[in-house]
Amino acid sequence: MMENVTVMREQAMQWIKEASAYIHDSFQSALTIDTKSNASDLVTNIDQEVEKLFINRIRVAYPEHAIVGEEGFGDEIERTDGYVWVIDPIDGTMNFIHQQRNFAISLALYIDGKGVFGIVYDVAANDMYYAISGEGAYMNGTKIARVEEGYLEQAVVSVNATWLTENRRLDHEKIAQLVRRARGTRSYGCAALEMMYVVTGKLDAYMTPRLAPWDFAAGAIMANEVGVIATTLKGEPLSILHKSGLLIARRGVHEDMLTNYIVCKE
Which of ligand 2AM, Ca ion, none has residue 115 at its interface (CB below 5 to 8 Å by kind)? none
Which of ligand 2AM, Ca ion, none has residue 51 at its interface (CB below 5 to 8 Å by kind)? none
CA distance 264 to 169: 6
Q: Per CB under 6 A, does 142 bind ligand 2AM?
A: no
Buried/exposed 145-169: b ≥16 CB within 10 Å, e otherwise: eebeebebeebbbbbbeebeeeeee
Pairing of strands 104-111, 83-91: antiparallel
Stretch that binds ligand 2AM, among 139-147, 184-192, 222-230, 234-242 (CB under 6 A): 184-192
Q: Per CB under 6 A, does 152 bind ligand 2AM?
A: no
Q: Per CB under 6 A, does 223 bind ligand 2AM?
A: no
Using the 8-state DSSP alphabet, how is residue 152 labeled?
Answer: G
* Closest approach of ligand 2AM to the CB of residue 11, in Å: 23
The contacts of residue 37 (CB under 8 Å, 6+ apart) are none
Q: Per CB under 6 A, does 190 bind ligand 2AM?
A: yes
Whether 240 and 218 have beta carbons less than 8 Å apart is answered as no
Q: Please identify, using beta-carbon distances, which residue of 91 and 204 lies nearer to Ca ion.
A: 91
- The maximal CA–CA distance of the chain, rounded, in angstroms, is 52
Q: Per CB under 5 A, does 91 bind Ca ion?
A: yes
DSSP, collapsed to helix, strand or coil, labels residue 69 as: strand
Q: At what angle do helices 2-26 and 45-61 cross, to 10 degrees?
A: 150
- The vertex-75 CA angle with 62 and 26, nearest 5°, equals 80
Out of 10, 41, 112, 153, point to the residue binding ligand 2AM (CB under 6 A): 41
CA distance 196 to 177: 25
Q: Per CB under 6 A, does 51 bind ligand 2AM?
A: no
DSSP states along 33-61 = EEESSSTT-EEEHHHHHHHHHHHHHHHHH
Q: Per CB under 6 A, does 69 bind ligand 2AM?
A: no
Out of 70, 122, 194, 256, point to the residue binding Ca ion (CB under 5 A): 70
Whether 256 and 164 have beta carbons less than 8 Å apart is answered as no
Q: Per CB under 5 A, does 225 bind Ca ion?
A: no
Q: Per CB under 5 A, does 88 bind Ca ion?
A: yes
What character string, x for contact with ligand 2AM (CB under 6 A) and - otherwise, covers 90-129? -xxx------------------------------------
Number of amino acids touching ligand 2AM (CB under 6 A): 13
What character string, x for contact with Ca ion (CB under 5 A) and - otherwise, covers 38-67? ------------------------------
By CB under 5 A, name the binding residues for Ca ion. Answer: 70, 88, 90-91, 215
By CB under 6 A, name the binding residues for ligand 2AM. Answer: 37, 41, 70, 88, 91-93, 189-191, 211-212, 215
